[in-house]
Amino acid sequence: MKPEPLERLGPLVRAANEPAVEAAVRAASLRRAATASPRRRWPLVAAGLLAAAAATALVVWRVTPAAPTAVAHLDGVPLEPNARVTAEAPRTVSFADESVAVLERGAVRLDGPRALVLDDGRLELRAAPRRRDGFLLSAGPWQVRVVNTRVAAAFSSATGRFEVVVIDGEAEVRGPGPTTRRLATGQRFVVEPHVDTAPAPPATPELSAEPSAPASPALPKRPLQPAPVPRPSAASSAPPWLEALKEGAFARAVAEADRAGFARLAASESPDRLLLLADAYRFQQRGDEARTLYLAARSRSRTAEPRAVAAFQLGVSSSDLAEAAEWFEKAYDEAPSGPLAAQALGRLLEVRHRAHAPSAADTARVYLSRWPEGPYAPLARLLTK
pLDDT of residue 255: 93
Q: Looking at the predicted structure, is the pLDDT value of residue 346 above 70? A: yes
pLDDT of residue 178: 59
Beta strands in 147-186 (DSSP E): 150-155, 162-168, 170-174, 181-184
Q: Write the Ramachandran bin of 159: left for phi over 0, alpha for psi from -120 to 50, otherwise beta.
A: alpha
**For residue 26, what pLDDT band results from cuts at 50, 70 and 90?**
low
Q: Quick one: average pLDDT of 178-201?
A: 66
Q: C-alpha 282: how far from its chain's center? A: 12
320's CB contacts (< 8 A; 6+ apart) are none
Nearest 5°: phi and psi at 183? Answer: -115, 140
**Hey, what domains does the chain have and what are their CATH numbers?**
6-62+302-383 (1.25.40), 72-191 (2.60.120.1440)
Quote the CA–CA distance of 89 and 103 in Å, as a whole number: 8
DSSP letters spanning 184-223: ETT-EEEE----SS-SSPPP-----SS-SSTTSPPPPSS-
Other C-beta atoms lying within 10 Å of the C-beta of residue 214? 6
Nearest to 350 by CA among 373, 383, 318: 383
pLDDT of residue 179: 67
pLDDT of residue 268: 93
pLDDT of residue 22: 55
Percent of the chain with pLDDT over 90: 23
Classified as helix, coil or strand, 228 is: coil
Highest-confidence range of 45-49, 219-223, 280-284, by mean pLDDT? 280-284
Express the helix, strand and coil content of the chain in percent, nearest 5 each: 40, 20, 40
**For residue 33, what pLDDT band results from cuts at 50, 70 and 90?**
low
- pLDDT tens digit sequence for 289-315: 999 999 999 999 988 888 999 999 999
**For residue 199, what pLDDT band results from cuts at 50, 70 and 90?**
very low
